[in-house]
Amino acid sequence: MTDFVPPPGTAYEDLETPRLVIDLAAMEYNIETLHRFFRGRPARVRSVTKGHKCPAIAQRQMTVDGAVPFGLCCAKVSEAEVMVAAGARHIRMIEQVVGKAKVERLMRLARNAHIIALVDDPRHVADLADAAQAHYLTLDVLVEVEIGLNRTGLVPGPEAMKLVRSIEKDNRLRFAGLSSHEGSMVITDPEVREEKVRARIQRLLDCREDVERAGVGVEICGAGSSTTWNIAGAMDGITEIDPGTYVFWDHAFVESMPDQPFRTALKVLTTVISRAAPDRAVVDCGYKAMGRAGDGGMPAADREGVTVNRLNSEHGILDLEGEGRTLRIGDKVALTPRAFGPTVVAHDHYVGVRNGVVESVWPISARASHQ
């Protein structure tokens, strides 16, 4: 595969397309905005890397004031391997690791970094304990608590407490605390959002109280996402939050949560290749380069009077009105992903742009890290 990588100093308008572009100033603003909130607070930020999949970005997130120093959250073992190789020292898994080969890789990784595994079943505990013993390790483990997302995790109560006790009694493991995910909670009204978020996270905090009342210490109590960061992060008893989307910010959230302070920082730059009709333009970017949003929504164009009608495999069809009808063949149109995760895995590199000029090119080293 040949992918021409533009050198620093290349003009934005001269980039070959489709090209995945970071507005560096916007990304830096997002990182600073979120982390500033946690300076002087008990809770810290442990950023999730499964969306951007890039060590260069992770390095900026895990070293800024307000972060768990050199700490990240990873969904996949292969993703964690990439991040540890790039300098991460503390990895919290946000997905259960299942299967002999994956658990073995996790143990090898634990020789080079502080790894915190996630469990919600006795089978997880047994498999991790056996592997830790074989590698002469003591592995830190969090119990996942289900607080309303209806995905993974145990409902607070006897079963959760039983699992905590089983970890406490096993000298091959160390109970490190509790973790939960309340979900993105995409609620437009900030007051309603806060009420619902607090209600969910209180279930986690109640579980923490139960565990501590039983005489078991809770070092980590993690919750929070990119849409609930300033709610979860201000609740007493939460020690860290794990947001990911904030770094680039989805266009879908711009529409649904306009009170959030983040800026869209990721775009796919495209070129107009056809103007065969006065109210239509076609660009050289389809769903192969853009990905598909989970809700089926289209990306947003950066020009007035331009709307994305649909994406074919290699073509993007734009509806034009008013000023949009001035588009000509060869003009550039930047498209902001509705949800950037599927977009990122379609590309090998990010091109970082500042003031209209390429400043950096970063490999997306974990783009294929799905195991």
Q: What is the pLDDT of residue 308?
A: 98
Total-model pTM: 0.95
Contacts of 163 (CB under 8 A, 6+ apart): 119, 120, 121, 122, 125, 143, 154
Q: What is the pLDDT of residue 294?
A: 82
Q: Which of 159, 162, 172 is nearest to 127 (CA)?
A: 172
In the beta sheet, which residues pair with residue 222?
A: 179, 240
At residue 184 the predicted structure's pLDDT band, cuts being 50, 70 and 90, is confident
Strand bridging mode 306-311 / 316-320: antiparallel
Cα separation of 31 and 3, whole Å? 29
**Degrees to nearest 5, angle at CA 57 with 55 and 60:** 110
Share of the chain above pLDDT 70, in %: 99
Tens of pLDDT, residue by residue over 92-142, are: 999 999 999 999 999 999 999 999 999 999 999 999 999 999 999 999 999
Cα separation of 204 and 223, whole Å? 8
Domains and CATH numbers, the chain: 12-21+261-363 (2.40.37.20), 25-247 (3.20.20.10)
Contact between residue 365 and residue 86 where contact means Cβ atoms under 8 Å apart: yes
> What are the angstrom distances between the C-alpha of 266 and each of 21, 25, 184, 245?
6, 11, 19, 11
Name the residue type at position 4. Answer: F
Q: Which of 248, 232, 228 is nearest to 240 (CA)?
A: 232
C-alpha neighbours within 13 Å on the C-beta side of residue 360: 12
Tens of pLDDT, residue by residue over 250-306, are: 999 998 999 999 999 999 999 999 999 999 999 999 999 999 988 889 999 999 999
Q: Which helix (H) or strand (E) holds 235?
A: none
Q: What average pLDDT does the chain have?
A: 96
Contact between residue 163 and residue 179 where contact means Cβ atoms under 8 Å apart: no
Tens of pLDDT, residue by residue over 206-259, are: 999 999 999 999 999 999 999 999 999 999 999 999 999 999 999 999 989 999
Cα separation of 143 and 18, whole Å? 43
